[in-house]
Amino acid sequence: MIPNNIMTKKFIKTIVGSLLATGLLLTDAVAQQTPAPKQTRAISIEGATAHLGNGQVIENSLIMFDKGKITFVGSANARIARQGEIIKATGKHVYPGFIAANTSLGLAEIDAVRATRDFDEVGTMLPHIRSIIAYNTESRVVETMRPNGVFIAQVTPRGGRISGTSSVVQLDAWNWEDASVKLDDAIHINWPSIFTRGRWWLGEVSDLKPNKQYPVAVNQLKDFFQRAKLYLQGDRTAVNLPYEALEQVFKGRKKVFVHVNGKKSISDAIHFFKKLGINSVVIVGGHEAEQVASLLSTNNIPVVLKRAHRLPTKEDEDYDLPFRSAKILTDAGILVGVGMSGDMERMSTRNLPFYAGTYGAYGLGKEKAVQLITGNNAKILGIDKQMGTLEVGKDATLFISEGDALDMRTNILTKAYIQGRALSLDTHQTKLWKRYSNKYKNQ
């Protein structure tokens, strides 16, 4: 007979081995695919229609890049030696990688599971909270962005009066350090609402009514910024992290993204920061921004609009006003981008190009719609020297599509690159699609 202790050891060894094997299989099944290696060979894309991201288009283009940087942008008729691998893309389209502003992408995985949600911290005034620390490069939601051409995102916290600090990331990385494109680009403030609704769960009437606490909330913000200013001008003996986080804001090196809607609220917010001497302000949401367009234009304040697919908020508004808002603001000389806050925002971020396409279809035009999520968003986020347009010297963050990338019927990517690295376009969703396509194809 085998001694009990030996049998016990064998049993434990067998169980541990089985668990490890199962764990490895599960890890392989659910983990993000391995990030692409650095570019080692030059690439030339020839014959495609190039949408540069600045409103310009080059038919029959030649785009070349090496070591992660674009080295040539021009006509395929140019007498210039092609470099490295030559990709024939006649009949296809080349775009800069799309940039999603104002999204909590990578900060939560499953809305119904609290442990996976890391976008909202406890507290009210939290400018020192950094979203980048919580960004999850292994998110299965993040990988679903790439097949639609969304390669860059401004990872933004939510909640509180001052939610925290966002950062800009690229969506193919091992960890947040690798992902970072621009660290701590802006703080995000949720401007108080002028109106409020009754709490239905307490039996109150749910109709809109003036918010009596509006001036109180504005004064609290004012007091916070004034105290921070005094602190930063003092000796800072006792360190105050929230106040420290505002130093770069007062110096103009970090932007303030004000999440605000309504004509009066937007106007109040603009004057509020102007009095504080803070000029790097961006309006986010911007419902009724068209009613204060001259004020926005005069103060050179960009607007990050919500998704186009939303309803009017007032009974007397045109049904298509949300679709036309980008056109109205652009015509007024305002720099306009597109953000992703709202219901199902992380999953819906992959639809960014189609929201831009709706803005394009309602007066803005296709190339200016492309600008919303490329060159414009890059300028608003302060990364336009590095990416956002197809220009020599910028990062080779781009893709080839079989058709119009703003149309969900034809936005079919064949090649994609971030900083010159060739991306995998496989995701959990594409694997399931292929699996079940084959099932029904064989029946």
Residue 274 sits in the same domain as residue 352: yes
Residue 327 sits in the same domain as residue 282: yes
Look at residue 232 in the predicted model and tell me its pLDDT.
94
| CATH number of the domain enclosing 67 | 2.30.40.10
Look at residue 20 in the predicted model and tell me its pLDDT.
43
- Total domains in the fold of the chain: 2
- Residue 319 vs residues 313, 328, 330, 339: alpha-carbon distances, Å: 10, 15, 20, 21
213, HSE (Cβ side, Cα atoms, 13 Å): 8
- Residue 112 vs residues 11, 92, 195: alpha-carbon distances, Å: 38, 40, 29
Domain annotation covers residue 27: no
Mean pLDDT, the chain cut into blocks of 10 residues (443 residues total): 47 47 43 82 97 97 97 95 96 98 91 78 92 93 94 95 97 95 96 83 74 93 95 91 95 96 95 95 94 96 92 83 94 96 86 96 96 98 97 98 96 96 89 84 70
Residue 61 sits in the same domain as residue 143: no
Look at residue 333 in the predicted model and tell me its pLDDT.
96
Residue 412 sits in the same domain as residue 268: no
Residue 90 sits in the same domain as residue 190: no
Tokens of 437: 């396509």
Number of C-beta neighbours around residue 150 at 10 A = 25
Look at residue 70 in the predicted model and tell me its pLDDT.
98
Residue 295 sits in the same domain as residue 231: yes
């694997």: which residue's tokens?
Answer: 431
Domain annotation covers residue 42: yes
Domain residue limits at 396:
33-96+388-443
Q: What is the DSSP letter of 151?
A: E
Look at residue 29 in the predicted model and tell me its pLDDT.
44
Report whether 374 contacts 395 (CB < 8 A): no
Report whether 179 contacts 142 (CB < 8 A): no
Residue 67 sits in the same domain as residue 80: yes
Q: What share of the chain is helix, strand, coil (3-state, %, to 5)?
A: 35, 25, 40
Report whether 60 contacts 52 (CB < 8 A): no
Using alpha carbons only, give the angle 169, 186, 356 rounded to the nearest 5 degrees: 60
Rounded to whole angstroms, how far apart are CA atoms 329 and 199?
A: 34
Rounded to whole angstroms, how far apart are CA atoms 160 and 146?
A: 31
Q: 263-275 and 214-233 are packed helices; what angle lies between their axes, rounded to 10 degrees? A: 20
* Residue 337 CB contacts under 8 Å (≥ 6 apart), including other chains: 101, 302, 303, 304, 305, 372, 373, 376, 377, 380
Domain annotation covers residue 392: yes
Nearest to 368 by CA among 408, 328, 340: 328
Residue 304 sits in the same domain as residue 432: no
Residue 64 sits in the same domain as residue 107: no
């001694």: which residue's tokens?
Answer: 3
Residue 110 sits in the same domain as residue 81: no
How much is the pTM? 0.89
Number of C-beta neighbours around residue 289 at 10 A = 25
Look at residue 239 in the predicted model and tell me its pLDDT.
93
